[in-house]
Structure 1
Amino acid sequence: MIQDTADEAFTADLLRGHTDTIVLGVLRRHDSYGFEIYKSIREATGGAYEIKEATLYASYRRLVRDGLAEAYWGDESQGGRRKYYRITDAGRAAFRSNVATWVATRGIIDDLLGTAVPAHTKGTRA
C-alpha cells in the first residue's frame, strides 16, 4: 500500500532541525503553554509526528533567549499556573524567513529527486 511506504519512509530526522520554526508556526496562531504546543503539533500530523517534550522545552528556552518568543505566567484560574509563550515581531520575521528557506530547499530536493510537480499542473486538481 502506498501510504504504508510513505509512513515507513517518514523520518523524524528531517523535521528535527525545524523544531523552532514548527513552534513559531504554532505560536503565530495564538499564545500557548508548553504542553498545548506539544498537543497542537501531534494533532496537526494526526499523531504521525511527536516532538519529545525535552526537545520542545529546549526550543522554548532558545526562542526566548534569542528574542523570537516571550514567556509569561498565566493566571491560576484553570488549575496550576502555566508558562505561556507568545511570538515576537522578530519571531514572525524569523518564521517567514525559515519558511521561505524551506520552500526553496524543498524545490531543489524535488528537482534533484525528480519529484517536482510540473509548473503547468501546480494549482490544478486531479
Structure 2
Amino acid sequence: MKVDKELMRGSTTMIILSLLNEEDMYGYQIISKLKKLSDSIFNLKEGTLYPILHGLENKGCIISYWVDGEAGRRRKYYRITEEGLKFLKGKQKEWKLYTEVVNKIVGDFCYE
C-alpha cells in the first residue's frame, strides 16, 4: 500500500534523527535502512534526503565528517548532536500527542 507523501513529510526529520540516534550513518545507508525498516513505505531519494540533512546540520542537530572507506572511497557520515537529541525528544512528544489525537478522532476502524 502506498502512503500519501504529505503524511510522510511531517515525520521524515524525526525518523532520520531517530536512525542517527542509533548510529552514525552515511546518506545511502540512511536511505537503505529506512526503506528496509519501513517495508519500503519510506523510499527516500537522494534529492529528498540531502536537503533534510543539510537543514539539520545548519540547525546544529547533526554534524558530518568524512571517513575513508574501502577502495579509497570517502563517505560523509552524519552524527546526531546534543541539540539534535533535544530536538528529537520534542518531535517525539509532538508525534505522540498528534497520533493519540488522530487515533481518538478516527477510531479503531482505520486499523481493520
Q: Identify whether the pair has TM-score above 0.5, normalized to the shorter chain.
A: yes
| Counterpart pick for 1:35 among 28, 45, 48 | 28
Identity %: 30
Gaps of 5+ in 1: 1-6, 117-126
| Counterpart pick for 1:66 among 59, 62, 87 | 59
| Structure 1 pair 72–16 and aligned structure 2 pair: CA distance change class (3 A) | same
Corresponding position of 1:123: none
Give CA-to-partner distance per residue, 1:67-102, whole Å, 9 cap, x none: 000000112445410100000011111111101101
Corresponding position of 1:98: 91
| Structure 1 pair 21–78 and aligned structure 2 pair: CA distance change class (3 A) | farther
- On the 8 A contact 1:70/1:88 being kept in 2, the answer is yes
> Which has the higher relative contact order, 1 or 2, with Cα contacts under 8 A spaced 6 or more apart?
2
State TM-score, norm by structure 1: 0.79
Q: Does 1:89 align with 2:82?
A: yes
Q: Please state how far the C-alpha of 1:53 moved relative to its aligned partner.
A: 1.4
Corresponding position of 1:52: 45
How many residue pairs get aligned? The number is 109
State TM-score, norm by structure 2: 0.89
Q: Which has the larger radius of gyration?
A: 1
Aligned residue for 1:86, secondary structure, equals: strand
